Structure 1
Amino acid sequence: MKKYVVYKRVSTAEQGRSGLGLEAQERDIQLFLEGFSDVPFEIVSSFVDVLSGGNNDRPELKKAIDLAKKEDAELLVAKLDRLSRKVSFIASLMDDPKLSIRVAQMPYADKFQLHIYAALAEQERDFISARTKAALAEAKRRGKQLGGLRDKTMKRNEVVKADAQRRAEKLRGAILPMKEAGMSLRAIADELNTLDIPTARNGKWTAMQVKRTLERLDTSNILRQTP
C-alpha cells in the first residue's frame, strides 16, 4: 500500500488562524490523491508549519520528514515552495536516499525535474527583487512620470522587451545546461513542456521559441562582457 505523510505550510500566524492558503493546499493534495496516486493509499499523518519558507528550521517539517522515513512513506506537498524557497535546502532533501518527495501539482516530476523547477523559481524571485529595486530607484531619480503618446508607446515597448528578457533569464538555469548537453531545440522544447513550464503566453514550447530564448541569452552574455 502506498503511504503518504502530508506537509503543509503557510507564512504568517494570520494565515494559520484563518486557513488562508491551507485550503488551497488541501484541495491540490486531494486532487492528486483522487486522480494521480497509486491505490490503495494511506495518509499516515499530516503536519502544518506557520513559518516563512526562508526559515528552514521548522519543527513540523522535521517531524514530517522523520515520520516519512520511519514509515517508508512519501512526503507529499501541494507545491514545491511549501518545502522551502531555497533551492539549496530542497536539493539537500532530494539527496537524502531515505526520503521520497511527491509534489501534488507536478505528480509525475522526478528529482531532476523538481530540482530544475526549484532553481527556476529561486532565479525568478531574485530577478523580480532586483527589478523592483531598479524600478523604484529610476522612479525616484526621475521624480515624475513621462508624458506624451510617444513616450507611452516607447515605455510599453520597453516593458515588452524587458519581459521577454526576464523570461529568458528565468529559464537560463534550465535551458543552457540542456543545450550544453547537446540536446536539440525540439528536445529542449519537449522537456520544458514535460516540466509544465509555460511560454510567455501560457502556451506550449516549440523549437523556434527555444531558439529565440537562447538568442536573448546570448545577447545578454555579450552585454555582460562589454566593458
Structure 2
Amino acid sequence: MKAIGYIRVSTDEQAREGISLENQRAKIEAYCGLNDLKLVDVIEDAGKSGKDLNRDGIQVLIEAIKTRSVAAVVVYKLDRLSRRVKDTLSLMELIEKKNITFHSITERIDTKTAMGKFFLNIMASMNQWERDTISERTRDALHLKIVKNERAGQVPYGWRLAQDGKTLLANAKEQKAILLIKELRAKGYSFRAICQDLDKRGYESAGRTWHPQTVKNILRRAA
C-alpha cells in the first residue's frame, strides 16, 4: 500500500518541544516499515504554524489526496496537520471520501477502525483547546504587563522605558502630541491634516515623518 508522509514544525514548537523535522521523518519511515506501507514521499512545511491550511506543503498533500495518488497518509502527530478542529475534520472528511486511510503515530490513530475515527475527533478538539489556551495565556500576560505599566513588545508612542528596562514612563512631549491629535480629530481634521499640523508644530514622529496610519494607530491605542 502506497503511503505519503507529512511533517511540519514551527520555530516556536521546535524550540519549546524539540519536534524536529528529522525526528518526524524518521518516525514515519520506521512506522511504515513496520506496517507494510510503502512510503513514496514525505512532504514538509518548515517553520509554519498550524493555525490554518495556508501552507505550501499541506496544499501538496491535499492535492495528492484528491487525486488518490496514495492509499494512506501518515503523520507523527495529529496536530502536525492543523491545530484547528474545523481544518482537521475537513481534511479527514476528504481522506475518508477518497477511501484513504489516515495514521497518526503518537496517538496511535488508524482510521480503518471505528475506534480510530472516534479517537480522531477527540484529539482534534484537544489540539484546538491547547492552541486556544496558549493564545489566552499570552493575551492575559500582555494585559497584565500593560496594567502594571510594563513594556509589552515595542514601546508605544507617548512612553519611554525606565532604567529597569521594563517599566513604562510617560514621555511629556509625546503625551502633548497625543492630546493634540485627539483635539484635532475631534474638530474634524483628517488624518493627513493632523500630520501636517504636527509637522508644523515641530512634534517628532516615531519614524522620520508623520503618516496617516501612524496617527490612526496612536488614536486606537489611546482610546
TM-score (norm 1): 0.50
SS in structure 2 at match of 1:70? coil
Distance change (3 Å), C-alpha of 1:30 and 1:46: closer
Q: Matched residue of 1:26: which SS?
A: helix
Question: Does residue 115 of structure 1 match 2:121?
Answer: yes
Q: What CA distance in whole angstroms lies between the structure 1 residues aligned with 2:51 and 2:104?
A: 19
User: Aligned with 2:49: secondary structure?
Assistant: coil
Rounded Cα–Cα distance in structure 1 between residues aligned with 2:147 and 2:57: 46
Would the alpha carbon gap of residues 131 and 112 (structure 1) be closer, same or farther in structure 2, given more than 3 Å must change?
same
* In structure 2, distance between residues paired with 1:132 and 1:63: 32
Contact 1:6–1:76 (CA under 8 A) maintained in structure 2: yes
**Count, aligned residues:** 135
**Aligned-pair CA distance for 1:44:** 1.8
* Equivalent residue, structure 1, for 2:63: 66
CA RMSD of aligned residues (A): 2.9
SS in 1 for 2:23: helix
Instruction: Give the residue type in structure 2 aligned to 1:117.
Output: M
* Alignment partner, residue 211 of structure 2: none
Alignment partner, residue 94 of structure 1: 92
8 Å contact from structure 1 (residues 9, 49) kept in 2: yes
Cα deviation, 1:108-130, whole Å, max 9, x if unaligned, reads 45122112111112112212322
**% of aligned pairs identical?**
34
1:116-135 aligned within 5 A: 116-135=122-141
* 1:116–1:30 Cα change, 3 Å: same
Identify the residue that residue 204 of structure 2 maps to in structure 1.
none
Counterparts of 1:1-227 in structure 2, within 5 Å, are: 2-11=1-10, 21-35=20-34, 37=35, 39=36, 41-50=37-46, 51-68=48-65, 69-96=67-94, 97-98=97-98, 99-109=100-110, 110-138=116-144, 141=147
Which of structures 1 and 2 has the larger relative contact order (alpha carbons within 8 angstroms, sep 6+)? 1
Q: Which has the higher helix share?
A: 1
Q: Provide Cα deviations, 1:170-202, integer angstroms capped at 9, x if missing partner.
A: xxxxxxxxxxxxxxxxxxxxxxxxxxxxxxxxx
